[in-house]
Amino acid sequence: MVPQIRSISAAETWPLRSSVLRPGRPPECARFPGDEADSTIHLGAFVEDRVVSITSLFRAGMADQPGLDAFQLRGMATAETMRGHGIGRALVRACIDAARKSGAELLWCNARTSATGFYLKQGFQVMGGEFEIADVGPHFRMYLRLPNTKRREY
């Protein structure tokens, strides 16, 4: 199954974010600070014209890697029935490409402990120990250096 990946609006991420990442909580919990920022990139994976996986890239430095131009990958969610088909992997590859094209040197995330294996397979590395995000659960900070990034001149 090969998904079509394209840019989407912040609002298009909210239903899947809510149902997968914040089940049973008010819909507002799926809205993140910075969702509407000009520098934020939202991507969706579509199968048969239906969004089945989403993620967002926020221009944000990583505290453990100061001075690097970075994006934080947040809110990655894949519909339960679509997991295991390579859709999430394709979406992460699209995130890596988008971050590189935007001149970033680093892509990082706070990965749920249950998802660390997935991110390790995509080339991410764990930094530090497990930590808790209130009302969400245990996480690890993970990162991927983006070598050979060419900075855009504006």
Tell me if 44 sits within 8 A of 5, measured CB to CB.
Answer: yes
pLDDT grade, residue 65 (50/70/90)? Answer: confident
Q: Is 135 helix (H, G, I), strand (E, B) or coil?
A: coil
Domain boundaries, the chain: 4-145
CB-based contacts of 124, cutoff 8 Å, min separation 6: 107, 109, 111, 142, 143, 144
> Residue 154: its pLDDT value, please?
35
Q: What's the pTM?
A: 0.89
Rg (CA), the chain: 15
Task: Check residue 74 and give its pLDDT.
Answer: 95
Query: Domain 4-145 in CATH: superfamily?
Result: Gcn5-related N-acetyltransferase (GNAT) (3.40.630.30)
> CA-to-CA distance for 47 and 99, rounded, in angstroms?
23
What's the whole-number mean pLDDT along residues 1-7?
90
Confidence category of residue 150, pLDDT binned at 50, 70, 90: low
d(CA 53, CA 5): 9
Mean pLDDT calculated for residue range 28-37: 93
